[in-house]
Structure 1
Amino acid sequence: MNYKEAMDFISNINKFGSVLGLDNIRELLSRLGNPQNKLKVVHIAGTNGKGSILAYLAGVFRESGYRAGRYVSPASFSYEERFRINEENISQDDLCYYMEKIKKTSEEMVADGGNHPTMFEIETALSFLYFLDKKVDVVLLETGMGGRLDATNVVDRPICTVIASISYDHMQYLGDTIEKIAYEKAGIIKEGCPVISYDNSKEANQVIKNVAKEKNCPLKFVNKKGIRILSESLNGQSFTYRSNSGRWYEKIEIPLLGEHQIWNAAVALEVLDIIKNYYCISEFQTEEGFRKTKWRGRLEILQKDPIILCDGAHNPDGARCLADFLQKNFTNRRIIYIMGVLADKEYEQMIQETVWLADSVYTVAPDNPRALSSKDLADMVRKCHSKVFVRDRLAQCLEEVKTISEKDDVIVVFGTLSFQNEL
């Protein structure tokens, strides 16, 4: 199988859609030798912040001389980005090798009367095979959607389970209340395995507590009272933190922007505290790992004079964090939005959270089959804002906006992670 054939295979199996449930992925992995049970795994679920937390952890492992495998979906810049070891994407040769192996096993499943694995199930299996063969020291595993029935939820004994920020998203699959959504996310909690959680709403926290108690799991929430912010700027942030165990971090510097990233960093520190018996990581390596963390498209400043800022906010909570950041950092400056969303997102609430800060809003359609048309998005924005302009694609729109912008303006591109590949 060459690279084109591998991509054609992936494209063809898209027709099987997304199916929640574990029977199919368990059958596929069983035929492949259950590689997931031979790996040390940190498993994370949540609505927002999963990738950021794992990015911090990956940075620390890299600085400490360990090989950390990351499975991230969806990818932003290239297909191979889904499978990474120490920030290096899988090679095309390796991708083709594992894809051919899984294709053969998938066809055998169908021949035996079973269902063909979905794209996400195939990618999940590929990540386990790849990371096992490459002898990684840890796998940083991110759920695709939900948790309880997510294809990644097949690891029997993760070394740590992590629950990130929980809010409304994918409600047609996960439920229409925070309690229902939290229950699905908490479904990755395994019997007796330690759990670290973001300090969510009282309702979400109670669900997490109940599941952890039922599974006999030690549970720790981020110690918000232990956080003291030292500095915040457009170049990064720093803070002190006292963990639940009493460990004192005198100064943690992070390049990721927004106060919510400090809370995400605190989650990562708690995870490191839990898994310290598995790895030898010094205080200096921890600080360097956080300081050098890279995670594209999250309040990322692409240019200055005028500032061009890209953010992957794609649900109401993410939009709220974006608005808080803009209000805190760009008071009395003209803000211009370039916005595009996917049709299955809660975009009306996203609009309500953000458009009041904008001088004008340009709507575009992301390069994604699930995209909402720029006209339909503009019609929705006009319910809240008068200066709305419809454009087709991001690249052309951004060039146009740059020509009319002044030095002190702020151009904000947001609404979907799909935009990152277009910038």
Structure 2
Amino acid sequence: MSEQQAAGAPFQTAQEAIDWIVNLVPFGIRPGLKRMEKLMELLDHPERRLRFIHVAGTNGKGSTCAYLSEVIRQCGYDVGLFTSPYIEKYSNRIKLNGQDIPDEDLLAIVNLIRPLAEQLAQTEYGPPTMFEVSTTLAIVYFARYAYPDFVVWETGLGGRLDSTNIVSPIVTVITNVGHDHMDVLGDTLDKIAAEKAGIIKNGVPLISAVEQPEALEVIERIAKERKSTLYLMNREFRYEPVSSRENHQVFDFAGPFREVRDVAISLNGQHQFKNAAVALMTIEVLRQYYALIVEDEDLLRGFKEAAWPGRLEIVSEQPRILIDGAHNPEGGETLAHALRDTYHYKKLHFMMGMLSTKNHTGYLRHILPLVNTLILTEPNWHKKADAAQLADLAKTLLSEMGPAGREVEVIVEPDWKRALEILKNKTEPGDLAVVSGTLYLIGDVRSWILRQTDSEKGW
């Protein structure tokens, strides 16, 4: 950044604006809504002009958002989408009808927000975080430039104190509750559920697939307190798998308003039935509460065409490489089910890189029984988990598996690009290579394999 820019002169390019946002990362994650409330006040409350579908949950948020945004778009509406973290480019996180925010709009909005952020930094509130600036950028883009009919709005971390919770949605979704971000959200499922349930608003309908009794008790209690009608999977709505093969799964849906048969999805894994059913129940609520016009052919086309990069995605055929952003115990379990049920291979070669804040033991217990080779590496990110320490943990768990564990080859290569070359060399015809772990690693690997470029970084 030049001295002129540092002094407050407007940025000249979108890349300069993005660099400024990304350089806010050292301010970290600081839960709370005070800075967001002040920013919205300074901007004359653009968040009040939009109709949000607010989505929280430990896993499945991104896929659920993908289904929702694609179905709404196929039904003829303009739809905004805000997600995190992004897979390759910063602008991926803010979309209108599937297209990234244009550079010229991003530049103009950042030049509007930056003086306000610097003004805020001089007060008792302190400087806004990267995610707060990104959330503000999305709100201003949708409210003043894009004017979508609906905005699919994914939480960043938790819900109650997440910066996305500055909005008042027309419908709320909590996909599930699991063990993730426990350093911030709490060390038990009921505590984590309470944070997720913080997005429940008075009188706003809620759709959820939460299953664990202790988490569900919290969700139900808060929904009742806030007079929010809860549509719960396996109670108000359910799904029935019809068929499943790679890149094509079909299910039947039954809800309180009607049944929908033979819904086809292209996303892989048994868990996608659940994510798609949650999205379909949300669409049904929008039909009933807000007169969303949904033709069945548009609905079915939307579910079929919905895509979500970095989740059970084949990015190379020779050798065959699958990438998946599973990074917590529940994600590891889901990935393990998919590797057993959906994919076929002679040998499985597995490369993983994690952040230091995750529950790696629970994740590895699901994955280790399936692998022939385990390659531990490190994402290019400041909170990365040490590859050698991960290897020590894996070897301890493998020793508990007896003879089967001793047959697994464990390789430590902290440089992810070198680790990827090892993975490729290990993968013979008929084998399957998997890269999994934090999305910071997945984004880099995906970008490198598909375009030979590094991904941008940020949350």
Interval containing the TM-score (normalised by the shorter chain): over 0.9
Cα drift, residue 396 of structure 1: 3.1
CA contact (8 A) 1:313 1:414 kept: yes
1:164 and 2:164 correspond? no
1:398 and 2:420 correspond? yes
CA deviations on 1:260-318 (whole Å, 9 max, x unpaired) are 11001000010001111342121110000000001011111223465311110011100
Cα drift, residue 112 of structure 1: 5.1
TM-score by length of 1: 0.95
1:20-419 correspondence to structure 2 within 5 Å: 20-111=31-122, 113-133=124-144, 134-156=146-168, 158-223=169-234, 226-245=238-257, 247-276=258-287, 277-304=290-317, 306-330=319-343, 333-385=346-398, 386=406, 387-419=409-441
Matched AA of 2:424:
K
Cα drift, residue 165 of structure 1: 1.5
Instruction: Give the distance between the partners of 1:358 and 1:203, measured in 2 at CA.
Output: 33
SS at match of 2:163: coil
Instruction: Give the distance between the partners of 2:318 and 2:245, measured in 1 at CA.
Output: 16
CA RMSD in angstroms comes to: 1.7
CA contact (8 A) 1:223 1:243 kept: no
5+ residue gaps in structure 2?
Answer: 1-10, 399-405, 446-459
Cα drift, residue 62 of structure 1: 1.6
* Residues 1:54 and 1:316: Cα distance change in structure 2 (over 3 Å): same
Instruction: Give the distance between the partners of 2:324 and 2:345, measured in 1 at CA.
Output: 21
Greater mean alpha carbon deviation, residues 196-205 or residues 334-343: 196-205
CA deviations on 1:316-369 (whole Å, 9 max, x unpaired) are 100011111112235773111111111111112211221111111011111211
SS at match of 2:366: helix
Instruction: Give the distance between the partners of 1:235 and 1:112, measured in 2 at CA.
Output: 52
5+ residue gaps in structure 1?
Answer: none
CA deviations on 1:70-114 (whole Å, 9 max, x unpaired) are 111111110111111111111222111111111111222234554
Cα drift, residue 166 of structure 1: 0.8
CA contact (8 A) 1:244 1:270 kept: no
TM-score by length of 2: 0.88
* Residues 1:151 and 1:307: Cα distance change in structure 2 (over 3 Å): same
SS at match of 1:37: helix
Instruction: Give the distance between the partners of 1:11 and 1:127, measured in 2 at CA.
Output: 15
CA contact (8 A) 1:222 1:244 kept: no
| Residue 454 (structure 2) aligns with | none
Cα drift, residue 403 of structure 1: 2.6
CA contact (8 A) 2:238 2:277 kept: no
| Residue 19 (structure 2) aligns with | 8
SS at match of 1:231: strand
Instruction: Give the distance between the partners of 1:113 and 1:186, measured in 2 at CA.
Output: 28
Cα drift, residue 230 of structure 1: 1.2
CA contact (8 A) 1:298 1:312 kept: yes
Instruction: Give the distance between the partners of 1:400 and 1:328, measured in 2 at CA.
Output: 26
Instruction: Give the distance between the partners of 1:209 and 1:7, measured in 2 at CA.
Output: 40
Greater mean alpha carbon deviation, residues 135-144 or residues 367-376: 367-376
* Residues 1:51 and 1:377: Cα distance change in structure 2 (over 3 Å): same
SS at match of 2:166: coil
Instruction: Give the distance between the partners of 1:364 and 1:109, measured in 2 at CA.
Output: 39
CA contact (8 A) 1:340 1:416 kept: yes
Matched AA of 1:236:
H
CA deviations on 1:220-270 (whole Å, 9 max, x unpaired) are 11237732211111122111111132x111111101111111001000010
Instruction: Give the distance between the partners of 2:87 and 2:165, measured in 1 at CA.
Output: 23
Greater mean alpha carbon deviation, residues 295-304 or residues 216-225: 216-225
Matched AA of 1:317:
E
SS at match of 1:161: strand
CA contact (8 A) 1:241 1:266 kept: yes
* Residues 1:40 and 1:278: Cα distance change in structure 2 (over 3 Å): farther
